[in-house]
Amino acid sequence: MPITLDSKKQWLSGVRRLPSPNCDERPAGCDVALVVMHGISLPPQCYGGPHIDQLFTNTLDPNVHPYFAEIADLRVSTHVLVDRQGEITQYVPFDARAWHAGRSAFQGRTCCNDFSIGIELEGCDDRAYEPVQYDVAARLVKLLMLHWPEIGKNSVVGHSDIAPGRKTDPGEAFDWEYFYSLLE
């Protein structure tokens, strides 16, 4: 199924939508110029279940898993998640600032949330991502490149690239060479 974007460049069509309260307006005059690829699994190294949705909607129960007690109070989000089956969930409209990058810098610009789109892949640093995730994420990034011409292949990076030493995702298991080949 083709991935399309509405005329206001806010929401994808034909995907699951679960709005997150963890977003705000982008600064005036700040155009999207970066895509940040992330990896997430909750609990760590476990796939499926409602926990990623709960994290991004501030409903994660800290009593369900010991790790959740550490993160339940975080107020974070992403624009989209691509799960292990290649299904997309959109949490934040693309014209809004999602809270995915934290302290970050790219090519001398700080506060990457201001000018980026965050894509989470359900996965972890040291386990292979699914082929369908690469395919869906590449189709999504190509669509974003059409709508935001400042996004080029060199401005599709990992969280680890914009927050080195603090973040490691999407990790060594993410095949950047293969992913970039899908963007051509």
- Residues 6 or more apart whose Cβ sits within 8 Å of residue 123: 39, 40, 41, 47, 84, 129, 130, 133, 170, 171, 173, 174
Reported as a single tens digit per residue, the pLDDT across 112-147 is 999 999 999 999 999 999 999 999 999 999 999 999
H-run or E-run covering 4: strand 4-5
How many domains does the chain divide into?
1
**Is residue 101 included in any domain, yes or no?**
yes
Q: What is the pLDDT of residue 2?
A: 83
**Mean pLDDT within 65-83:** 97
**Is residue 23 included in any domain, yes or no?**
yes
Reported as a single tens digit per residue, the pLDDT across 26-58 is 999 999 999 999 999 999 999 999 999 999 999
- Two tokens, residue 108: 């001398």
**Is residue 32 included in any domain, yes or no?**
yes
**Is residue 6 included in any domain, yes or no?**
no
- Residue 24: is its pLDDT beyond 90? yes
- Residues 6 or more apart whose Cβ sits within 8 Å of residue 35: 116, 117, 118, 119, 141, 144, 151, 155, 156, 157
**Is residue 8 included in any domain, yes or no?**
no
- Residue 1: is its pLDDT beyond 80? no
**Is residue 4 included in any domain, yes or no?**
no
**Is residue 11 included in any domain, yes or no?**
no
Catalytic residue list: 120
* CATH value at residue 87: 3.40.80.10
Which residue segment(s) compose the domain that 59 sits in? Answer: 18-182
